Chain A
Amino acid sequence: MPSPRDLWAYHSSADMLRGVDFLPAEPQGKSKNTGVGSSSLLQWIFPTQESNRGLLHCRRILYQLSYRGSPISYDLMLILLHLQRLYLQTRKVIFTVPMAGNKGRGRAAYTFNIEAVGFSRGEKLPDVVLKPPPLFPDTDYKPVPLKTGESEDYVLALKQELRETVKRMPYFVETPEEKQDIERYSKRYMKVYKEEWIPDWRRLPRELMPRKKCIKGPKSKKAKDTGKGPSLTNPADVLKKIEELEKKGDGEKSDEENEEKEGSKEKSKEGDDDEEDDAAEQEEYDEEEQEEENDYINSYFEDGDDFGVDSDDNMDEATY
């Protein structure tokens, strides 16, 4: 919470500065507004209004100003002088603590011992800070030097080594980067060959498994990427597939098929043999799914496929 000192500083300096600019900028009558505005300003400046003659004087002048509507330059100067003097004086007044139960508006009566807070009346306060603190402030005390020793050096070396090692592990999943147009000579020597890592599928939820089993090295990677099923870029194959699947005689299949056809535009071609195998595997998998989720397929969308993930168009088709 802001300390009372800050509050005072904010109100007094900001308003007063505004007020000082405010008065001379008003040449002639915006009559009543001037009077009202500046009187409230004056009340801020002169908290102890009853005892202050200056306030009465200023008020009189201002009322005259506002009602007569004529510029009175001499009086304006007088007002400014008053304000200046009072500004310098009031900077020394420490608190206007607004208290309920105070008599009227006014007396700067502090309901607690001002000495207890740490500074007495008439003392100069530190300047108001009007900007955020610096990003790297100066510290009075230097930080403690780091520990040095054999064990610390060893742990440091371990840390840096670990940092390098983890980049080469198969767990470090790299973001696919765009190809560079010129292949550099040094890339030959800097390529890191990572081992393939195959998790133990028995320990993981089945939905995390890619749809196709990993067969051999480079092909399996492609298989994982596609992950959905056979790519049907050939219309002849599509027809064949439709026939196969029609044996199941399920409406569900046609949807999946549609989805595959749409999705297959992104995939790479594979050999026919693979497609056969894949079709067989896919059928098996679908069979299992059919068995489990019999009652809930139509209304509940948890069928573990990559169904409708990449295209929202499918959503309409699938809901019954």
Chain B
Amino acid sequence: MTQAEIKLCSLLLQEHFGEIVEKIGVHLIRTGSQPLRVIAHDTGTSLDQVKKALCVLIQHNLVTYQVHKRGVVEYEAQCNRVLRMLRYPRYIYTAKTLYSDTGELIVEELLLNGKMTMSAVVKKVADRLTETMEDGKTMDYAEVSNTFVRLVDTHFVQRCPLVPATENSDTGPPPPAPTLVVSEKDMYLVPKLSLIGKGKRRRSSDEDATGEPKAKRPKQTTDNKEPIPDDGIYWQANLDRFHQHFRDQAIVSAVANRMDQTSSEIVRTMLRMSEVTTPSGAPFTQPLSSNEIFRSLPVGYNISKQVLDQYLTLLADDPVSLFFFLFSFFYYLHKALGSLATATLESVVQERFGSRCARIFRLVLQKKHLEQKQVEDFAMIPAKEAKDMLYKMLSENFISLQEIPKTPDHAPSRTFYLYTVNILSAARMLLHRCYKSVANLIERRQFETKENKRLLEKSQRVEAIIASMQATGAEEAQLQEIEEMITAPERQQLETLKRNVNKLDACEIQVDETIFLLESYIESTMKR
């Protein structure tokens, strides 16, 4: 794991789980798989805290364990999974667009808790939805379970690996750790549950009471419960499926930009048809005939068969594309991702170095290998500037040099030096830079928040006081007096802080989109 990735992981873990978990997690990422005692010894934390941290990390699928011989259990962290934490808001938003508020809350609960049983999810989501509804209405469990089943059917939610049911538990000593079994066919099998009930609304009068009884109440409700019917069956969010969805979205919007709306719809249909059947790493989708595509087009589109055929031929002949045509059509996903990654690189070069550099870059990309003189000629840029730009891009590793010696002694005067773009290595370099920038953004945001910590605390306290006074019934004048505790320049400072933090957050989200594109491309090349 590169330093940039480790730094980013540590920042993410710290934000989500606190410092102790962060220390353990980063140690595991750095050193690979380790047993419990070694972790405690190396990090210098007490064994209790290490245990707690490991429990949290395992619950969230960030750490896996393995039993080695002699009963030693080793824990290993998944660095990639930790980096996904950056993308949680995007997953939740996608669920919202596909399955509306219910789906959104289900996915949110699953992401926040790592893994949960279906009944627990349904209950929590119903409660949350009930609170947002108007007085008197409650959310039915059945509706929530329906949405849950739909999510499972489209593979957005999947089962966690199961603990194997051992009947011979008294024959030998129990193993130090259960070996979890992944059953492929059961992954999306929803148990037959009849969850009957309605969401409970938390009455607002409870919130004012002192915290103690409120904290005890949830525990009491869990104590006197009947055994949960789906005990032991845990569900988690299937991040790969979300990634597939993002990738399809990116391809469809790229086609829409390049051609027109209709062709993008055709592509969307094709991708949707092979959604569930294509494994996540496949370079091609399933082959489809044009008849099938015609039948599966969305109802609103009334294009005739000939027009569809024309569109398909057009898409297949496009040099940049994305499409492949043998006797049936299938989508060349790997090439699509490559085009997307290339487009990202081009736009980065353009924004960083200017449009002329971008012209040179695209030229070298197209012609694969070019000498310096040829670059100047083809790009129609004067020699000195062309050289300057080429060297600038070379120093930033967007372009690389390929030497072709004429003589065996590689003398520089008798060697061809060709400029070329190696997309994979440039993509990796850019990805590394993206990780660095996200880490910088998070650090800067934390710094800004820390700088104004005093002011933030003061405003929080004032708000708390106002809220309590409003609840107990206070006059307008008193409220105003308390609001004036925050002076005008302080208010301005708070405004600036809020704006900056929003901007930094928005930057993180957008850099994450680039990270996603580059990561998918690199992953697709590795799987080939």
Chain A interfacial positions (CB closer than 8 Å to B): 111-113, 116, 118, 139-141, 143-144, 146-147, 151-152, 154-156, 158-160, 162-163, 165-166, 169, 171-175, 186, 189-191, 193, 195-196, 199-200, 202-210, 217, 224-225, 227, 288, 291-293, 296, 300, 302, 304, 306, 309-310
Contacts and interface: CB of A to CB of B under 8 A. Distances in A.
Contacts of B89: 155-156, 158-159, 162
B46 A118 contact: no
Contact of B219 (A143, A160, A196, A224): A196
A210 B17 contact: no
Interface in B44-85: 46-49, 51-56, 58-60, 65, 67, 70-73
B354 A169 contact: no
A169 B112 contact: yes
A175 B18 contact: yes
B81 to A, nearest CB: 15
Given A193-B215, A302-B70, A147 B176 contact: no
Given A141-B352, A143-B351, A156-B506, A163 B72 contact: no
Contacts of A155: 89-90, 93, 509
Interface of B: 15-21, 36-37, 40-41, 46-49, 51-56, 58-60, 65, 67, 70-73, 88-90, 92-93, 96, 108, 112-114, 163, 173-174, 176-178, 180, 211, 214-216, 218-219, 232, 234, 351-354, 372, 383-384, 387-388, 411-413, 460-461, 464-465, 467-468, 501-503, 505-510
A225 B47 CA distance: 10
A190 B460 CA distance: 9
Given A186-B464, A292-B173, A159 B509 contact: yes
Instruction: List the 9 shortest-distance A-B pairs measured between CB atoms, nearest first.
Output: A205-B177, A112-B413, A158-B89, A159-B89, A189-B464, A186-B461, A205-B73, A292-B173, A193-B215
Nearest to B417: A116
Contacts of B54: 208
A224 B509 contact: no
8 contacts: A146-B503, A156-B509, A166-B16, A173-B21, A186-B464, A186-B465, A189-B467, A203-B58
A146 B468 contact: no
A172 B351 contact: no
Nearest to A304: B176
A143 B112 CA distance: 34
A146 B506 CA distance: 7
A171 B88 contact: no
Contacts of B387: 118
Contact of B413 (A111, A193, A205): A111
Contact of B18 (A173, A186, A199): A173
Contacts of B211: 191, 193
A208 B47 CA distance: 9
Contacts of B72: 302
Chain A interface mostly helix, strand, loop or mixed? loop
B70 A296 contact: yes
A179 B73 CA distance: 37
Contacts of A225: 48
A204 B177 contact: yes
A208 B387 CA distance: 62
Contacts of A296: 70
Contacts of B49: 173
Nearest to B445: A163
Given A207-B51, A296-B70, 12 more contacts: A113-B413, A162-B112, A169-B113, A172-B16, A173-B18, A199-B55, A202-B163, A204-B65, A205-B178, A208-B58, A217-B219, A227-B47
A190 B464 contact: yes
A182 to B, nearest CB: 14
Contacts of A208: 36, 51, 54-55, 58
Contacts of B71: 292-293, 302
A95 to B, nearest CB: 12
A173 B51 CA distance: 12
A171 B13 CA distance: 11
B48 A173 contact: no
Nearest to A97: B412
A310 to B, nearest CB: 7
Given A118-B384, A193-B215, A173 B17 contact: yes
Nearest to A112: B413
A224 B177 contact: no
Nearest to B348: A144
B177 A162 contact: no
Contact of B176 (A111, A112, A156, A205): A205
Nearest to A296: B70
Contact of B174 (A147, A159, A191, A206): A206
A166 B354 contact: no
Given A186-B465, A191-B211, A207 B18 contact: no
A227 B328 CA distance: 65
B505 A172 contact: no
Contacts of A207: 36, 51, 73, 176-177
B56 A173 contact: yes
Contact of A166 (B17, B67, B464): B17
B49 to A, nearest CB: 7
B503 to A, nearest CB: 7
A169 B113 CA distance: 9
A175 B19 contact: yes
Contact of A146 (B16, B46, B232, B510): B510
A172 B17 contact: yes
Contacts of A139: 352
Contacts of A195: 215, 218
Contacts of B460: 186, 190
Contacts of A171: 16-17, 21, 56, 59-60, 113-114
A141 B505 contact: no
A158 B40 contact: no
B55 A227 contact: no
Contacts of A141: 351-354
A174 B93 CA distance: 29
Contacts of B219: 196, 217
Contacts of B351: 141, 143-144
A255 B232 CA distance: 38
A10 to B, nearest CB: 18
A119 B266 CA distance: 55
B319 to A, nearest CB: 27
A189 B468 CA distance: 8
A149 to B, nearest CB: 11
A302 B177 CA distance: 14
A11 B112 CA distance: 60
A113 B372 CA distance: 14
A68 to B, nearest CB: 47
Contacts of B384: 118
Contacts of B114: 171
A159 B91 CA distance: 11
Nearest to B58: A204
A199 B54 CA distance: 11
A292 B70 CA distance: 11
Contacts of A204: 55, 58, 65, 177-178
Nearest to A293: B71
B20 A173 contact: yes
Contact of B112 (A113, A166, A174, A190): A166
